[in-house]
Amino acid sequence: MTREFAEQPSDGFVEHLAPALELRCSGRLLAGGHSDFQNWEVWDTAAFGRLYRLDGRSMASERDSFLCHEPLVHIAGLAHPEPRHALILGGGDGASAAELLKHPRMQEIVIAELDPAVVQLTREFLPDLHDGALDSPQVTLNFGDAAAYVRSWQPEEGSFDLIVFDLTDPDTAAAPLFSVDFFRACKRLLNKQGALSLHLGSPLWQREQVEALLGHLREVFALVTPCFPTIPLYGGLWSMAVASDALDPTALPGSTLAPRIEGLLGNLRLIDASQYHALLACPPWLEQFEGF
């Protein structure tokens, strides 16, 4: 991980969210450089605290990481009766692993991360994101191509309860991992009650991408459930989805959900028994569009 990349102005950065739409964030560039795979930057900002960016896109911040990673992990994780084995594609910052470790029966978490620099910058500058998860004996770091890892998996190696896509956006180099073929490859690794969880994008200015991804998922899985958190670092309203052949988060009754939340090994800041179902409610203005 080199430290020679400092092309951004020292007083802040501009995030291009959509044509003619930008997020301007003031702050101080703490470090930046090139890895073998991408440019990276770490910023200290007044709005978000410390955050990191990859190839000019913000990934996670100290202040609003919970708004991203709680729904990404726990919409599926709480719908599952007892998740024990999880695979994270990407997720080298450890934030998804930290959420998965809150499930009391969790035995194994594999992080398939392409870039060791993400783990290194997190350890050095953003330890609150992983909250010790990267050093947990339940967590295994596997560096390399996540797609190759999935495709090389053999049935005798077991199966996963949860697969979490904690990747860069679908319009980046990670695009092949958001295809129908790759979703089928992931399904092969899930057990019968297993579920896949992933980002879709902004339903406001990436609606075509979101609709296309929902369509791809429905070609592979019987149950595809969108959810709609608000993530300020990503520009506001966001969308994710849980895909499974067995788990339907919308059918999870409060009488089951509440004790599962109480049984977690750590507090949630966003999700409680009422907010869980609120995140699953499709906004009325979106229901008119195909796929929602």
Query: Using CA atoms, how far apart are residues 106 and 100, in angstroms rounded to an integer?
Result: 7
**Residue 166 designated active-site:** yes
CB-based burial label for 123 (10 Å; 0-12, 13-18, 19+): middle
Residues in the chain: 292
Catalytic member of 64, 115, 166, 169:
166
User: For residue 226, what are the β-bridge partners?
Assistant: 241
Q: Which two tokens stand for residue 173?
A: 């180099």
CA distance 26 to 57: 15
Q: Is the distance from CB of 112 to CB of 150 less than 8 angstroms? A: yes
Cα distance between the two ends of the chain:
41
Please count the other Cβ atoms lying within 10 Å of the Cβ belonging to residue 44. 14
Residue positions annotated with a catalytic role: 166
